[in-house]
Amino acid sequence: MAPWLGVIADDYTGATDLAGMLVRSGTSAVQFFGVPTDDMVVPEADCLVVALKSRSIDAADAVEQSLEAARWLLAQGVEQLFFKYCSTFDSTAAGNIGPVAEALHREIGSGIAVIAPAVPENGRTVYQGRLFVGDKPLDESPMRNHPLNPMTDSDLGRLFSAQSSLTTGLVSLSTVRSGSDAVRQRLTALEADGISFAVVDTVADEDLIAIGAAIVDAKLVTGAAGMAVGLAAARAAATGQSSAPAPALPVGAAAVLSGSCSTATQGQVALYSQDHPSFLIDPLRLAAGDDVVGEALAFARDNLDSVPLIYSSADPAQVAAVQAELGVSRSAGLIEDAFASIARGLVESGVRRLIVAGGETSGAVVVGLGTSAIQIGEEVDPGVPWTISVDKPQIGLLLKSGNFGAPDIFTKALEGR
Ligand SMILES: Nc1ncnc2c1ncn2[C@@H]1O[C@H](COP(=O)(O)OP(=O)(O)OP(=O)(O)O)[C@@H](O)[C@H]1O
Ligand SMILES: O=C(O)[C@@H](O)C(=O)CO
């Protein structure tokens, strides 16, 4: 089976979000961490995802890494490239969405490409070219106060234009609701006017399907997980291909690692720790040189039958106090290194299923484990699928974005599996 879709994702858990939704809709997917080396055996899948950590780095580096990923994906034979960014359009005037999209557009000499961050099932919708989070425009949502990329505008065309020299247009909701032929005609007209990117209004899943059908042959698509599902649906309708079964989860002991301090994770940790053995990683003790990793591993080994939780998750006041004492990057580095070592130690002790909360924490864990690629399995909650590492020994990894998942996701992830 030749892969037809090649995805370049600007962060790890965002990549898994997209891949999980694709697998739910019957499209098999494999995710790589960074651009694979030439000697890597590429597992069979409909969709190959290259996960980068390029969202908040220097724009020139993000462009270089994304182009390298694009060239590798095209060399694998993919027919369509998808640039996956956050459904809240996380970026600044310096990038990196605009510069990367522009570079990809020039690289493959594509016609018009869509800007499609909507994921209606997660409350991200686009209307009149404005991005909404739930019932609030992006710039009135909590994203307004994001520490790295405060989103102070919700007009996607304006946000994109501030980051790119290429022009944008709009496909309005009334056009989308008129069906895929109308969308195609509008895109063709915009392209004839020299427009390179089009924001597509999207307020419901059916809109993604209509847009997907209109761009089923597009060489380049940009957006979030919802648009990938729309494309997969259009492709399945056009080719009549049936669903691929999700790969099975390895059997073995399990543990939960949480370095996310997001509100959703704090609730998940609080609920889970009520009736599961839990060990707190104290960053100040790490900084003091205490053997916290050794203690955590000993604790986990004593409690392997009960799926132990090891966490550093804390509320904003506690995080601020630690950061004031150690600095932001030192505290983050100490904690991420600790989770990487703990993950390695757990696998050496026979753990074969790891639930990890937090994008950076997940990154540290997969790097710590030396994971080169994961096959995407069954979705537990929207955007949070089980994944199975392709390296030996095979490990089941549930990599959860900070704000994703129901309050009981840690228990739900293992129920019946
Ligand atoms: N108690 C703590 N004090 C200070 N920093 C912490 C603490 N616990 C975790 N951290 C750091 O906070 C950061 C959390 O980022 P991470 O990406 O893992 O979670 P998130 O931001 O909730 O997830 P996402 O990126 O998916 O939204 C990490 O760098 C982690 O090391
Ligand atoms: O698109 C989303 O919202 C997520 O996949 C993500 O990228 C969160 O950072």
Mutate to test the pocket of ligand 2, among 31, 88, 362 (most ligand atoms within 8 A of CB): 88
Q: Is 17 in the pocket of ligand 2 (CB under 6 A)?
A: yes
Give the ligand at the shortest distance from the Cα of 118.
2
Q: What is the pLDDT of residue 243?
A: 59
Candidates 262, 384, 401: which one to mutate for ligand 2, based on the most atoms within 8 Å of Cβ?
A: 401
How far from 232 is each of 150, 240, 243, 255, 409, CA to CA, in Å?
32, 11, 11, 33, 26
Please compute, for residue 46, the number of CA atoms within 13 A of its CA located in the half-sphere on the CB side: 24
Atom of ligand 1 nearest to the CA of 259: 9
The rounded distance, in Å, linking the Cα atoms of 12 and 49 is 10
Show Cβ contacts of residue 295 under 8 Å, excluding neighbours closer than 6 positions. Answer: 279
Longest CA–CA span in the chain (Å) reads: 67
Q: What is the reported pLDDT for 244? A: 65
Segment 392-402 mean pLDDT: 94
Residue 64 reports pLDDT greater than 90: yes
Indicate which atom in ligand 1 lies nearest the CA of residue 335: 31
Tell me which of 290 and 92 has the higher pLDDT: 290
CB neighbour list of residue 173: distance below 8 Å, 6 or more residues apart: 127, 128, 201, 202, 203, 207
- Pick the residue whose CA is nearest to atom 14 on ligand 1: 260
Q: What is the pLDDT of residue 55?
A: 92
- 296 C-beta closer than 6 A to ligand 2: no
Residue 84 has what pLDDT? 98
401 lines ligand 2 (CB under 6 A): yes
State which ligand 1 atom lies nearest to the alpha carbon of 403: 27
Residue in 51, 398, 359 with CA at minimum distance from that of residue 249? 398
Mean pLDDT score, 269-291: 98
The Cα–Cα gap between 311 and 410 comes to: 13
Cα of 212 vs centre of ligand 1, distance in Å, is 35
Percent of the chain with pLDDT over 70: 99
Task: Quote the crossing angle between the two packed helices 292-302 and 328-348, to the nearest 10°.
Answer: 40
Task: Determine the pLDDT at residue 268.
Answer: 98
- Ligand 1, pocket-test mutation among 11, 260, 365, 404, most atoms within 8 A of CB: 260
Which residue puts its alpha carbon closest to atom 3 of ligand 2? 87
Nearest ligand to the C-alpha atom of residue 86: 2
pLDDT > 90? residue 56:
no
Atom of ligand 2 nearest to the CA of 16: 5
Residue 246 has pLDDT above 80, yes or no: no
- Looking at residues 164-184, what average pLDDT do you find? 97
Under the banding of pLDDT at 50, 70 and 90, the label for residue 146 is confident
CA of 2 to the centre of ligand 1 (A): 37
Residue with tokens 């599996």: 417
Please name every residue paired with 84 in a beta bridge, in sequence order, or none if there are none.
9, 223
Average pLDDT on 243-271 reads: 91
Instruction: Compute the distance from residue 311 Cα to the ligand 1 centre, in Å.
Output: 10
Q: How far apart, in whole angstroms, are the C-alpha atoms of residue 3 and residue 116?
A: 22
Q: pTM (2 decimals)?
A: 0.89
Q: Could you give the domains of the chain?
A: 5-239 (3.40.50.10840), 253-412 (3.40.980.20)
CA 14 to centroid of ligand 2, rounded, Å: 4
pLDDT (0 to 100) of residue 39: 85
Question: Which ipTM did the prediction report?
Answer: 0.95
42-68 average pLDDT score:
95
Residue 239's pLDDT band (cuts 50, 70, 90):
confident
Mean pLDDT of the chain: 94
How many A from CA of 258 to the centre of ligand 1? Answer: 8
In this structure, the residues whose C-beta lies within 6 A of any atom of ligand 1 are: 13, 259-262, 265, 283, 312-314, 318-319, 322-323, 331-332, 335-336, 358-361, 401-403
pLDDT at 125 over 70: yes
Mean local confidence (pLDDT), 123-144? 95
Considering only residues 142 and 120, tell me which one the structure prediction assigns the higher pLDDT: 120
pLDDT at 49: 97
Over residues 388-406, the mean pLDDT reads 93
pLDDT band at 147 (very low <50, low <70, confident <90, very high): low
pLDDT of residue 323: 92
Q: pLDDT at position 383, please? A: 86
pLDDT, one tens digit per residue, over 333-391 is 999 999 999 999 999 999 999 999 998 899 999 999 999 999 999 999 988 999 999 98
What's the pLDDT band for 118 if we cut at 50, 70, 90? very high
Lowest mean pLDDT among 146-150, 193-197, 380-384: 146-150
